[in-house]
Amino acid sequence: MAEVDVSYALSEDQELIRNTARQFLEERIGLERVRELMMSDDGFDRGLWKEMADLGWPGLAISEEHGGAGLGPVEMSVLLEEMGRLVTPGPFFASAVLATTAIQQAADSDSQARLLTSLASGEIIATLAVFESPRGWRILPTVTFAERSGKGWKLNGEKRAVLDGHLADVLLVVADTREGVGLFGVDVNATGVGIAHESTLDATRRQATVTLDGVELEDTDRLDEGDTSAALRRTLLVATAALAAEQVGGAQQCMEMAVDYAKTRYQFGRPIGSYQAIKHRCANMLMEVEHAKSTAYHAARVTDEADELEVAAPLAGSICSEAYVWVAGENIQIHGGIGFTWEHDAHLYLKRAKASSLLLGSPRHQRDMMGQALGI
């Protein structure tokens, strides 16, 4: 496989996105607001979503033809890294990344025209319903089937870990049509759709279990044609690369929290960061974070190189997942007793890190995918 050279430095426009995002997130959200939202019923604030939409975020990676900003995965990764720094709650990843990518990759042009414009404006929130069993990060459904019903379709089945399913207006449901895998757009208010809002380890990113009990759909609710598993596979690769950027932001934040604390916390008459036992932990955190960044930045930059993404996305998925979980744990350890308290922010990151490391495939699953791409 040929290597792909990429350029890592950010352009001025990309730096502007970073600065705008950081300023908005710190001023308008901040960790206190995150905590309020985390404890609220929905874990979400429509007003905030509207403000993000006004900044053009949901449509960042949607083409201008469909009302978006027409930017690419690098700009998206810059924004997600900033969102990750503040464990930003809400359906941005579910709707603007996962669902939007699925439509871009799998849907036919009519469906794209119909859905992308209202996704870009933030008018609707969508999410992808693909996984069905706890360790089955696979695209081919085993319990969700679509059958022909008159001119339309009838859906039956159950989907797990549907990100922000309780907030979505539209569910993109992956179902077996018996003639290949199909993607269906399902109105959450349709008869037979059940959405159970789960209590989640990471309260800043919610999930639902979705049941589909004889849901009747129009023919146009089938968004794609033929077998769409290759496009959905690609969707998950792109989403894995995007999630890696968010993980990098969280990991960086944890490292900075730990280092700041190590400089100001005194024990035995001197800052704990002057002891090698703590200093070396911090230095190892730096190394893990830098390695995670390299894989995430690389993956964002090869999104359009199909073969390379098969390696780069699971590489970033496994490295960034493990780095974030580890760094978030080290952050708690360096904080000692205070780090274990509810009032300290360290736990928000550990929970986000651990849950994120499983959402699109465990690190081991990611390595398995990478190994297949490498022929190992």
Partner 1 sequence: MSEGDRRIEELVAELLAEHPPDSTPDVEFWRAQYDKGLAWAWHPEGFGGLGLSRKHQTRIDQLLVAGGASTENRYLNLLGIAMGAGVLDAHATDEQKRRWLRPMFTTEEIWCQLFSEPGAGSDVAGLATRAVKDGDEWVVNGQKVWTTLAHIAKWGMIVTRTDPDAPKHQGITYFIVDMEAQGVEVRPLYQITGEAEFNEVFFNDVRVPDENRIDAVGAGWRVALTTLMNERVAIGGASTPRGSGYIGQAVDVWRETGEDDPVLRDELLHLWAEAEAARLTSIRANQMASAGIPGPEGSTGKLAWANLNKEITAFTVDLLGLDGTLYPEGYELSRPERGGLHEPAKAFLRTRANSIEGGTSEIMLNILGERVLGLPGEPRVDKDLPWAEVPRG
Residue 297 to residues 345, 362, 374: CA-CA distances in angstroms?
26, 20, 20
Token pair belonging to 246: 């968010």
Q: Which stretch binds partner 1 (CB under 8 A): 115-123, 142-150, 154-162, 283-291?
A: 283-291
- Alpha-carbon dihedral of residues 47, 50, 54, 57, nearest 10 degrees? 120
Where on the phi/psi map is residue 26: left (φ > 0), alpha (ψ -120 to 50), or beta?
Answer: alpha
* 39 contributes a contact to partner 1 by CB under 8 A: no
Q: Report whether 319 contacts 312 (CB < 8 A).
A: no
**What is the C-alpha to C-alpha distance for residues 138 and 176, in angstroms, rounded to an integer?**
12
**Burial profile 287-298: b = 16 or more Cβ within 10 angstroms, e = fewer:** ebbeebbebbbb
* 252 contributes a contact to partner 1 by CB under 8 A: no
- Alpha-carbon dihedral of residues 79, 83, 85, 87, nearest 10 degrees? -160
Q: Which stretch binds partner 1 (CB under 8 A): 148-156, 181-189, 209-217, 364-372?
A: 364-372
**What is the C-alpha to C-alpha distance for residues 42 and 95, in angstroms, rounded to an integer?**
16
* 364 contributes a contact to partner 1 by CB under 8 A: yes
* 293 contributes a contact to partner 1 by CB under 8 A: yes
Q: Which stretch binds partner 1 (CB under 8 A): 17-25, 110-118, 294-302, 339-347?
A: 294-302
* 305 contributes a contact to partner 1 by CB under 8 A: no
* 292 contributes a contact to partner 1 by CB under 8 A: yes
* CA gyration radius, the chain: 21
* 63 contributes a contact to partner 1 by CB under 8 A: no
According to CB under 8 A, which one of 65, 178, 280, 304 is a site residue for partner 1? 280
Given the complex with partner 1, which of 2 and 39 has the nearer CB atom?
2
| Least CB distance to partner 1 at residue 42 (A) | 37
Given the complex with partner 1, which of 154 and 291 has the nearer CB atom?
291
According to CB under 8 A, which one of 250, 273, 339, 361 is a site residue for partner 1? 273
Burial (CB < 10 A; 0-12, 13-18, 19+), residue 33, is middle
Q: Which stretch binds partner 1 (CB under 8 A): 36-44, 61-69, 234-242, 274-282?
A: 274-282
Please write down the HEC assignment for all residues of 343-369. Answer: CCCHHHHHHHHHHHHHHCCCHHHHHHH
| Least CB distance to partner 1 at residue 13 (A) | 17
Instruction: Give the three-class secondary structure for 135.
Output: coil
| Least CB distance to partner 1 at residue 1 (A) | 8
**What is the C-alpha to C-alpha distance for residues 356 and 350, in angstroms, rounded to an integer?**
10
* 247 contributes a contact to partner 1 by CB under 8 A: no
* 187 contributes a contact to partner 1 by CB under 8 A: no
Spell out the alpha helix ranges (H) of 7-157: 12-24, 30-39, 46-54, 73-85, 92, 100-106, 109-120
* 135 contributes a contact to partner 1 by CB under 8 A: no
- CA 328, distance to chain mean position in Å, is 18
Given the complex with partner 1, which of 350 and 373 has the nearer CB atom?
373
* 151 contributes a contact to partner 1 by CB under 8 A: no
Q: How far is the first Cα of the chain from the last one, in angstroms, to the nearest whole number? A: 13
* 362 contributes a contact to partner 1 by CB under 8 A: no
Given the complex with partner 1, which of 37 and 272 has the nearer CB atom?
272
According to CB under 8 A, which one of 240, 295, 356, 357 is a site residue for partner 1? 295
* 74 contributes a contact to partner 1 by CB under 8 A: no
Residues forming the site for partner 1 (CB under 8 A) = 3, 7-9, 259, 262-263, 270-271, 273-276, 278-280, 282-284, 286-287, 290-295, 297-298, 315, 318-319, 364, 367-368, 370-371, 374, 376
